[in-house]
A = this chain, B = another copy of it.
Amino acid sequence: MNLRVNIAGVELKNPIMTASGTFGSGKDFVDYVDLNRIGCVVVKGVAKTPWPGNQPPRIAEAYGGILNAVGLQNPGVDAFCQDDIPFLRGFDTKIAVNIAGRTIDEYVEVAERLASADVDLLELNISCPNVKEGGVAFGVDPAMAEAVTRAVKAVAGQPLIVKLSPNVTDIAAIARAVEAGGADAVSLINTLLGARIDVHRRAFVLSTKQGGLSGPAIKPVAVRMVYQVARAVHLPIIGMGGIMTGEDAAEFLMAGATAVAVGTANLFKPTATMDILDELITFMQTTGVEDVNTLIGVVK
């Protein structure tokens, strides 16, 4: 059985990736997961300098999902290079770095700093709903999305994935724009903007009022968008949004994704990535699929 897939020239041993921000840099998972079995670890968003993130509460429960307002708390690219790359290089898995920024220049600086670093892929996060300048403006405007992609691509030392926001009228238009800007792949979806009010306290649960909705609740939106984007661009797609089982992973592959990322499921089931990989293998065995690549985009 072949599980290997190829994202913009980088071969993953299997299509299971982690979704940025839900797996740290993997350190919290070594007790539960064999990191060597993960196709690619996508680390949490990294900015030029340390970001404090938002005030608590940062987490609210939603039906079949969670709302988060972490706000890209991170120790900055230097600390990342020093602490996390050596740790992850101790495992046989690919590394993708999710890049956060407030301006084109900030994104570019992080990419420049990483150009010589020992990582395999960059993921440009132009879709974080949780910081005012977390790229969300870039993610909802095709021209800005193209501009930031072009600028980062010019300095990138690794293939560039651009992560798309679902909070748009026409995600295909954004995908075409980042393709035009030189993206090597796209990943989607980031979280849906949502809010929750505590009716007893008469206040929003999250300190930021609104946050990002993730988890199984958003899966149908994600599958629809992956399908739309697969029809709009010629780039490999990393699909995510509520993946909980191997069949969920297969659903994204069939909709047109080349690989999938497991996000919120990691939070309440630390073995989620392994379980999903095992279930995907079982699904392929019982349905007679020899090569995972034959599932990609098979549903028209």
Contacts of A218 in B (CB 8 A): 217
Q: Is the CB of B193 within 8 A of A254?
A: no
Interface flag for A287 (CB, 8 Å):
yes
Q: Which one of B197, B217, B242 lies within 8 Å of A255 (CB-CB)?
A: B197
Q: Which one of B192, B223, B250 lies within 8 Å of A221 (CB-CB)?
A: B192
Interface size class of A (residues with CB under 8 A): 35 or more
Interface flag for A58 (CB, 8 Å):
no
Q: Is the CB of B169 within 8 A of A202?
A: no
A156 to B129, CA, bound (A): 39
A202 to B295, CA, bound (A): 9
A298 to B200, CA, bound (A): 12
Interface flag for A270 (CB, 8 Å):
no
Interface flag for A155 (CB, 8 Å):
no
Q: Which one of B63, B67, B220, B254 lies within 8 Å of A216 (CB-CB)?
A: B63
Q: Is the CB of B224 within 8 A of A220?
A: no
Within 8 A of B (CB), among A141-197: 167-169, 192-197
Contacts of A196 in B (CB 8 A): 220, 223, 251
Q: Is the CB of B194 within 8 A of A223?
A: yes
Task: List the interface of chain A (C-beta within 8 A of B).
Answer: 62-65, 67, 140, 167-169, 192-197, 199-200, 202-204, 209-210, 213, 216-221, 223-224, 227, 242, 244, 247, 250-251, 254-255, 283, 287, 298-299
9 A–B contacts, CB within 8 A, in A order = A63-B216, A63-B242, A65-B220, A67-B220, A193-B224, A196-B223, A199-B250, A199-B251, A213-B221
* Supplied contacts A199-B247, A199-B250, A213-B221, 18 more A-B pairs, CB within 8 Å: A62-B219, A63-B64, A63-B219, A63-B242, A65-B220, A167-B169, A192-B221, A194-B223, A195-B220, A196-B223, A197-B223, A197-B255, A199-B254, A200-B287, A202-B298, A202-B299, A204-B299, A216-B217
